[in-house]
């Protein structure tokens, strides 16, 4: 299986920012663990703080991959462009969040991208990504 993981804005600061919410491990470190645990699959990773770059990556990989796992960060709640990109591709997309967005500030409670994803996983820390990958492996 070919699976792309996408992280949106500020997720490049994992391991440095708000450790009480996001933990102290960088995503690059965690991604090494994922690649080691899923050697039978082709995992790739992309992170950007720029909405259009995320849209471009969804377009680029959205027709030839088996799955996309996306943590759109704050764009989850604001980006119609990312929502439309997900809706426009044939690759299934799973939305993930490190924290449970429903227990955070009220402006984080609504996901604009969720309705066009095949599922949403939140609140399991970095393991949310592993669960997203597993959803494709089990499906």
Is 111 flagged in the annotation as binding? no
Residue 97 falls in the annotated catalytic set? yes
Q: Cα–Cα distance between 77 and 136 in angstroms, integer?
A: 24
Is 24 flagged in the annotation as binding? no
Is 71 flagged in the annotation as binding? yes
Is 84 flagged in the annotation as binding? yes
Give me the catalytic one of 22, 30, 75, 129: 22
Give buried/exposed letters for 82-105 (b at 16+ CB in 10 A, else e): bbebbeebebbbbbbbbbebeeee
Is 36 flagged in the annotation as binding? no
Q: Cα–Cα distance between 74 and 59 in angstroms, integer?
A: 20
Give me the catalytic one of 59, 97, 109, 129: 97
Is 59 flagged in the annotation as binding? no
Residue 109 falls in the annotated catalytic set? no
Question: Do 20 and 29 touch, CB atoms closer than 8 A?
Answer: no
Give buried/exposed letters for 18-42 (b at 16+ CB in 10 A, else e): eeeebeeeebeebbeebeeebeebe
Binding-site positions: 71, 77, 84, 98-99, 108
Binding-site positions for substrate: 71, 77, 84, 98-99, 108
Catalytic site residues? 22, 97
């Amino acid at each position: 299986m070919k699976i792309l993981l996408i992280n949106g804005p500020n997720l490049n600061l994992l391991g440095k920012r708000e450790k009480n919410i996001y933990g102290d491990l960088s995503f690059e470190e965690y991604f090494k663990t994922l690649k080691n645990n899923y050697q039978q699959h082709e995992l790739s990773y992309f992170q950007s703080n720029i909405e259009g770059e995320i849209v471009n990556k969804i377009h680029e990989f959205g027709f030839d991959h088996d799955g996309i796992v996306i943590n759109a960060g704050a764009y989850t709640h604001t980006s119609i462009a990312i929502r439309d990109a997900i809706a426009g591709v044939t690759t299934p997309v799973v939305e993930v969040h490190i924290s449970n967005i429903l227990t955070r500030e009220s402006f984080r409670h609504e996901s604009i991208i969720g309705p066009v994803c095949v599922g949403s996983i939140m609140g399991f820390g970095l393991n949310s990504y592993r669960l997203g990958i597993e959803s494709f492996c089990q499906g």
